[in-house]
């Protein structure tokens, strides 16, 4: 999982989200709107404008669009530098147009927020800050300098200073607010999407391993009879070829290689055969299988069943689903990472539910993130001093998010808490994770869980 997280989350080419065609189409809309606004001001309201300079300013993005159409394919993804230049060009072009049409006396000055919203969404923080400061500079210049729009009588259209100041202040606040708001929403969406990708990769990997183990075990089962036959025949040949040393050695070699094939297939098939029996297992067996990779890490992982009302009641058999095994494994890994000495795994069930509680004697969850556990990248569980012995550890958000997502896919409900005053083996509990499933959602059919398997299903 560490490699998956690194590969997925270290490469964040945000600007590569934007296609050249998207900017070109948006620019055509902007050009059309600018032309319509200028024509309406001249022919409908009889206003006097600097037509020559305005035509040059509006013509510049037309030329850029035409050049882009011939030089770049429509589906080209923009690099960070290209996106910076093109969005910066749109920002400056809009600023010049506003300068020629009344500055902040022009109500269309509000459109200065559009390029900033795009930059906050797709560009890295450095580029967004540069364009944001550029927008603030443009708005401030327009506050004091612009070419006024004249009526048919030659009277300039100028708002009172108080209104202009209020409009300037609202644009300044708007640029800052839109930048922060758009970036925060995009960042959370991006984090959630990447975490979901990592979850899908983890589940797919677990499923592939399970499938591979089933195929290998099935092959070991099916090849058992021919290998036993080869071994039997070779042993008989050894007895009959006792006087022929050369042929006898060949027969012994055949027998040894048959034994070797049997041992290899048995060891590779440890994960289990994809048949009706090994698709399900007792509850404790599945939990132990999930905890096995963390049993030998220097911490005690104690797994035990809580007593039930009926001491003779058999523990339920559940399906060995990859999402359950991998999700529980991530929870136990997190507990082992932060415990001081022992991790306690309690298994219990009732007539309607199956429950699992994982607790450790570590420091517990920080209160600042306790209510957000299960979201990706919620923060770090330990302080810098606590992480000194483990400098490679980067946080707990993604691992618990993956565990929570996988287990919820199996209809589980998870709760995270701190132990407080309760104790485990005389030691105060730290973090506690409670997982509860509806029993009918993960329990194997009681009629087939321990009974005869019937005829083997061939593997195609």
Burial of 211-231, coded b for 16+ CB within 10 Å and e otherwise, reads: eebbbbbbebbeeeeebeebb
In terms of pLDDT, which residue wins out, 254 or 429? 254
Burial of 113-149, coded b for 16+ CB within 10 Å and e otherwise, reads: bbbbbbbbbbbeeebbeebbebbbebbeebbeebbeb
Measured distance CA(359)–CA(262) in Å, rounded: 41
Measured distance CA(59)–CA(306) in Å, rounded: 78
What is the Cα 258 distance to its own chain's centre? 46
pLDDT digits (tens, 9 = 90+) for 109-121: 999 999 999 888 8
For the chain, give the mean pLDDT. Answer: 79
Residue 153, classified by CB atoms within 10 Å of its CB into exposed (0-12), middle (13-18) or buried (19+), is exposed
Q: What is the pLDDT of residue 455?
A: 52
Other C-beta atoms within 10 Å of 352: how many? 8
- Percent of the residues in the chain that have a pLDDT greater than 70, as a whole number: 75
**Tokens describing residue 246:** 């050369």
pLDDT digits (tens, 9 = 90+) for 379-433: 444 444 444 444 334 444 667 877 888 888 888 999 888 876 555 555 456 889 9
Lowest mean pLDDT among 15-24, 58-67, 83-92, 332-341: 15-24
**Tokens describing residue 295:** 């049993």
Highest mean pLDDT among 3-7, 366-370, 401-405: 401-405
Backbone phi, then psi, for 47, in 5-degree steps? -90, 155
- Average pLDDT, stretch 92-121? 92
Per the confidence metrics, is the pTM higher than 0.75? no
pLDDT digits (tens, 9 = 90+) for 150-190: 988 889 989 999 999 999 999 999 999 999 998 888 887 77
Cα 446 to Cα 116, 174, 308, 454: the distances in Å are 61, 63, 19, 15
- Average pLDDT, stretch 32-49? 92
């Amino acid at each position: 999982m560490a490699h998956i997280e690194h590969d997925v989350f270290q490469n964040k080419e945000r600007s590569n989200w934007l296609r050249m065609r998207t900017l070109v189409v948006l620019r055509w809309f902007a050009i059309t709107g600018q032309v319509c606004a200028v024509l309406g001001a001249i022919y409908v309201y009889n206003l006097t404008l600097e037509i020559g300079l305005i035509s040059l300013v509006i013509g510049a993005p037309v030329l850029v669009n035409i050049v882009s159409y011939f030089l770049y394919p429509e589906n080209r993804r923009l690099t960070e530098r290209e996106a910076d230049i093109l969005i910066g060009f749109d920002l400056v072009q809009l600023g010049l147009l506003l300068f020629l049409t009344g500055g902040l006396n022009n109500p269309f000055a509000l459109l200065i927020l559009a390029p900033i919203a795009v930059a906050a969404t797709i560009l890295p923080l450095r580029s967004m800050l540069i364009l944001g400061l550029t927008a603030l500079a443009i708005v401030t210049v327009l506050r004091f300098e612009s070419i006024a729009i004249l009526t048919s009588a030659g009277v300039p259209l100028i708002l009172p200073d108080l209104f202009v100041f209020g409009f300037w202040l609202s644009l300044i606040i708007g640029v800052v607010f839109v930048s922060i708001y758009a970036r925060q929403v995009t960042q959370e969406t991006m984090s959630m999407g990447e975490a979901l990708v990592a979850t899908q990769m983890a589940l797919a990997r677990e499923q592939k391993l399970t499938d591979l183990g089933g195929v290998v075990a099935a092959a070991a089962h099916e090849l058992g009879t021919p290998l036993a036959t080869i071994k039997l025949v070779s042993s008989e040949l050894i007895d009959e070829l006792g006087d022929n040393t050369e042929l006898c050695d060949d027969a012994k070699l055949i027998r040894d290689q048959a034994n070797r094939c049997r041992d290899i297939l048995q060891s590779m098939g440890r994960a289990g055969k994809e048949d009706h029996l090994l698709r399900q297992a007792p509850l404790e067996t599945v939990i132990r299988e999930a905890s096995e990779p963390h049993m030998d890490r220097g911490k005690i992982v104690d797994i035990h069943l809580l007593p039930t009302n009926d001491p003779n009641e058999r523990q339920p058999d559940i399906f060995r689903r990859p999402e359950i095994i991998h999700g529980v494994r991530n929870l136990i890994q997190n507990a082992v990472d932060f415990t001081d000495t022992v991790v306690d795994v309690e298994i219990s069930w009732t007539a309607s539910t199956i429950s699992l509680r994982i607790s450790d004697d570590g420091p517990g969850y920080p209160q600042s993130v306790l209510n957000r556990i299960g979201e990706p990248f919620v923060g770090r569980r330990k302080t810098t001093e606590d992480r000194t012995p483990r400098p490679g550890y980067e946080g707990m958000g993604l691992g618990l998010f993956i565990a929570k997502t996988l287990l919820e896919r199996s209809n589980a409900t998870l709760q995270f808490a701190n132990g407080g005053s309760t104790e485990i083996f005389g030691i105060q509990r730290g973090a506690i994770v409670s997982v509860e499933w509806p029993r009918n959602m993960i329990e194997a059919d009681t009629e087939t869980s321990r009974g005869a398997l019937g005829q083997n299903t061939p593997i195609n």
